[in-house]
Copies of this chain bind each other. A is one copy, B any other.
Amino acid sequence: MRPLGDSPLVRNDKTLVLAHDHGVEHGPKQFSGVEDRLDPNHVFEMATHDAVTALAVGKGLTETYYPSYKDDVNLLAKLNGGSDLWMGDPYSAHNWSVDYAAELDVDAIGYTIYPGVNDEVEMFEAFGEVQENARDHDLPIAMWAYPRGQAVKEHRSKEIIAYAARLGLELGSDFTKVKYPRSKENMAYAVQSAADNRVLLSGGSKTSDREFLELVEDCMDVGVAGLAVGRNVWQRENPYEMLDMLEEVVFEGASADDVL
């Protein structure tokens, strides 16, 4: 694995990002049933759990809540995003500069690219600038790598997810967040394709405890460096219970069976 110095994002060489950019990407409807969590204090509170090595949020949440949680939360600044009202080809608007993120004292940078879309060129070029700017501030970079577009018939196929993971290595991220490619063997291939880059499993939409923990166990087995989980934690009735279990599976090598 590519060294990360003494970054707080890594514990036992593993990483668990609590992702919470759903307010910009999908809006309040994502909080259906857990409306109390429209108050981001609840989610920042979850991020103080020992299992969480970083909380990924956008600029507004960082400005408003991070000052109260700075001692207990590592912040991964999600610099781009877009609403799901937009009907264009996938593209993620870059609305937060690395410089200002650094000024707010964040611990890492996150950026989404959609390889294969009409504006792939613009996204690669924007990522290139963000990446170099992050290096200037000695901030690690996580790439959300989600291939889309005309040539991507099946965006979770073995080849596509391995390509996504490889792009993280090639373009200079420290972590690359990819979707699950439908089998443990395919994920192993993605990890091999990423070489010394750290692959993070993208958590996806909420599933049962067992289903989700077995998925995580499978990924850890084949060398994934951790996960970025959102809805499978903060949409749960009891997110702390899930975080307790994830802590054991991700950092301590426990199996899903062990913790359930």
Residues of A within 8 A of B (CB): 2, 21, 23-24, 27-29, 31, 35, 38-40, 58-61, 63-65, 81-88, 91, 93-97, 100, 115-118, 120-122, 124-125, 127-129, 131-132, 135, 147, 149-152, 159-160, 162-163, 166-173, 189, 192-193, 195-197
Residues of the B chain whose Cβ atoms lie less than 8 Å from the Cβ of A196? 39-40, 64-65
The reply to whether A163 and B28 contact each other, CB–CB distance below 8 Å, is yes
Minimum Cβ distance to chain B for residue A159 (Å):
6
> What are 27 A-B residue pairs whose CB atoms fall within 8 Å in the complex?
A2-B64, A23-B166, A23-B170, A27-B163, A28-B162, A28-B193, A29-B163, A31-B193, A35-B192, A38-B193, A40-B195, A40-B196, A60-B173, A63-B172, A64-B197, A65-B196, A82-B124, A83-B167, A84-B151, A85-B120, A86-B120, A87-B150, A88-B121, A93-B120, A93-B125, A94-B125, A96-B172
Closest to A84 in B: B151
Where chain A touches its partner, the secondary structure class is helix
* Bound: A85/B167 CA distance, A: 12
Minimum Cβ distance to chain B for residue A141 (Å):
10
Supposing A64-B2, A115-B85 touch, asked if A170 and B94 sit within 8 A by C-beta, the answer is no
Supposing A24-B171, A60-B170, A60-B173 touch, asked if A163 and B125 sit within 8 A by C-beta, the answer is no
Minimum Cβ distance to chain B for residue A179 (Å):
15
Minimum Cβ distance to chain B for residue A99 (Å):
8
